[in-house]
Chains A and B, each alone.
Chain A
Amino acid sequence: MEEIKKAIIEYAETSKKTKFYFKDMEKAVQSKVPGAKSRDIKKAASELVNEGTLIYFSTGSTTMYGLKGRGITEDK
């Protein structure tokens, strides 16, 4: 789990897009941690949200993830 979380954070810090779909994150994690299950990646992402590291970014119809503080974040 820690390994997956690390991979998520690494992706969130370096990806070209500062907001990304779950799927993009999933692929990035699986390239670092082969065999990581999407269920576990979701669990890890939820934990990171609860720890305040990741945030959800929602348009209402679609939801993305982002690293807190990176890209457009402030509630204008």
Chain B
Amino acid sequence: MALSTGKLGKYNPEKPTENRITDIGPRHYWEFFPPIIQRNYGKWLYHDILEPGVLVHVSETGEKVYTVRCGGMRFMSAEMIREVCDIADKYCDGYVRFTTRNNIEFMVDSLEKVEALKKELWSRKFVTGSYKFPVGGTGAGITNIVHTQGYIHCHTPATDASSMVKAVMDELFDYFTSMTLPAQVRISMACCLNMCGAVHCSDIALLGYHRKPPIVDHEVIESVCEIPLAIAACPVGAISPDKTPSGKRTVKIKTDRCMFCGNCYTMCPALPLSDKEGDGVTILAGGKLSNRISEPKFSKVVVPWLPNNFPRFPEVVEAVKKIIEAYAADARKYERIGDWAERIGWEKFFEKCGLPFTEHLIDDYRLAYDTYRTSTQFKFTEAAWEASRAAGGID
């Protein structure tokens, strides 16, 4: 059978339920495994990272599978996927894998094939010079940034995602192709605080952020929205019904309650909130997911806001580099960014990274008190002297 052609293909709009197939789920994974994976399923003994981007997994059957990992783009065209398929057909008998972090993995069964594959991958470039398949993203380095849609396809973003990721990865490229850091650094990017990318447990999280409440389009809200839905959409109850002077139904917004999530705009296009001056980027750091040594932890806000300076976000890139370079220079082997910050103390983190500490970084949401220091164990940094001076404690 072939895929259908023509406007409606084989679908008959007169009889939408005729021959309808539903609830069949995804394709079964087994048929997509390369034979070497099928043969050694559940039999793997250990693995080694031979060089950045190249892994070998050794099975109890004695077989070895070599994986070459490349940085991929989450946003990818059919043209690009066909090129991935060409490589997979040429070297991997038509099998390929994608990782949760948008990397592409090609698997082969010998070192010779690894060399040929690597050469091929590095040789492929876009006409403007960017690599199509940079090899790396393993071990104690920086792997691909997972991200959300941004201006490409989202209705509530406070920044763009693909461009910021491109800008940051261009600058961190050498960390992708090497393994020189104390431990892995996982960077994630979400373009508003709804975080469909759930970046809240990353070593470094880049987060788009609105700072202005929605504007009410009083003239049309009645006709383009279901007002009760818009009211119900607000997670903090900041929207209430109102009337315009001419008697039309509308809403009013308690702006001091607004937390800029954009849920109302999701329900009602007459409540836009994005704004060129208002929107920007927040940086969080020190989160992790694994249970290794320390428990999984949330990322903490370390830079409250930076401007959306399209297309290369120089301020964001600079802040990220500051954190990574201070970490690379100071952390111990195996120490993740959050473990490092906790060992040296967050006050030292700000000092070493050269990041200013502002009042925005002190929690004032629910259970904020848990983050306050209720002890006399702290380290003196310049910020502490400044605070002491301000209180008249020292000259």
Contacts and interface: CB of A to CB of B under 8 A. Distances in A.
A16 B228 contact: yes
B264 to A, nearest CB: 11
Interface residues of A, number: 11
Contact of B266 (A16, A59, A71, A72): A59
Contacts of B224: 72
Interface in A46-60: 50, 59-60
Contacts of A64: 229
Contacts of A61: 194, 266
A18 B267 CA distance: 13
Contact of A59 (B17, B228, B267): B267
A16 B224 CA distance: 16
Q: Is the interface of B mostly helix, strand, loop or mixed?
A: helix
A74 to B, nearest CB: 12
B201 to A, nearest CB: 20
A71 B17 contact: no
A19 interface: yes
A76 B228 CA distance: 21
B226 interface: yes
A71 B229 CA distance: 12
A23 to B, nearest CB: 12
A17 B228 contact: yes
A64 B267 CA distance: 11
A69 to B, nearest CB: 14
Interface of B: 17, 194, 224-226, 228-229, 266-267
Given A64-B229, A71-B226, 6 more contacts: A16-B228, A17-B226, A19-B229, A50-B17, A61-B194, A72-B225
